[in-house]
Amino acid sequence: MGYPEGNVVRRALAVLRDEGLASFGFKVASTLGYRRLMLLERPLEGTLPQMACGLALGIELLAPRDVDDYLAFRPETARERVLDRWRSGQACFVARHEGSVVSACWATTEPAWSEYLACQIPVEAGEVFMFDAFTHPAYRGRGIAPALCAQQLIHYGQAGLRRATRAVLPENAPARRAHAKAGFRPYAMIRTLRIGPWQRRFSGPCKGAGR
């Protein structure tokens, strides 16, 4: 008998097949309470990247009045959650193609809450943390996200900030390669361990950081 669609065993086997044993092991560990994120950094001084894209794009800071455009792009997101981000001073950069939002990435200069880790990610003075990047599946692999990232880096570099940071799952090799092309390098790891209501956070430099 085949497993029903969405069965936990089916999903686990798919992860094992597509992402390998290491990724599978960490996904199992995350369900048991152990989670980790790698922090990446990139200086904003000096020459900043220019990323070409084969599509005609308009890249802009999205205004709260255009929240419906964002919700059409990410309908699973609650309206109030998006509005709360703007109220807290976070900024949403979007790429539009033929008027529609096809990619987006948020940024903040304040400490950012990570739902995955259930803790705050520190953001120091002079830094910007870039997070919740998402590109519509139909437009992935076409250079849109790198072009959007480049414009964010240029924006914050011109604003006088010194460093951009972001977080990624260490086992997500494709994302790490993409961020490396934009000049991001690992510098720290945040780990959390949760057992029932108890949680402890561990932070430290990445192995080989700064090499």
Predicted local distance difference test score (pLDDT) of residue 39: 97
Q: What parts of the chain have a pLDDT lower than 70? A: 1-32, 208-211
Domains of the chain and any CATH numbers = 1-32 (no CATH), 37-204 (3.40.630.30)
Predicted local distance difference test score (pLDDT) of residue 204: 87
The CA–CA distances, whole Å, from 98 to 15, 46, 50, 101, 133 equal: 35, 33, 22, 9, 20
Distance from C-alpha of 11 to C-alpha of 77, rounded to nearest angstrom: 23
Q: Per-residue pLDDT tens for 58-90?
A: 999 999 999 999 999 999 999 999 999 999 999
Predicted local distance difference test score (pLDDT) of residue 194: 83
Distance from C-alpha of 172 to C-alpha of 49, rounded to nearest angstrom: 23
Amino acid at 76: E
Predicted local distance difference test score (pLDDT) of residue 87: 96
DSSP string, 117-185: TTEEEP--TTEEEEEEEEE-GGGTTSSHHHHHHHHHHHHHHHTT--EEEEEE-TT-HHHHHHHHHTT-E
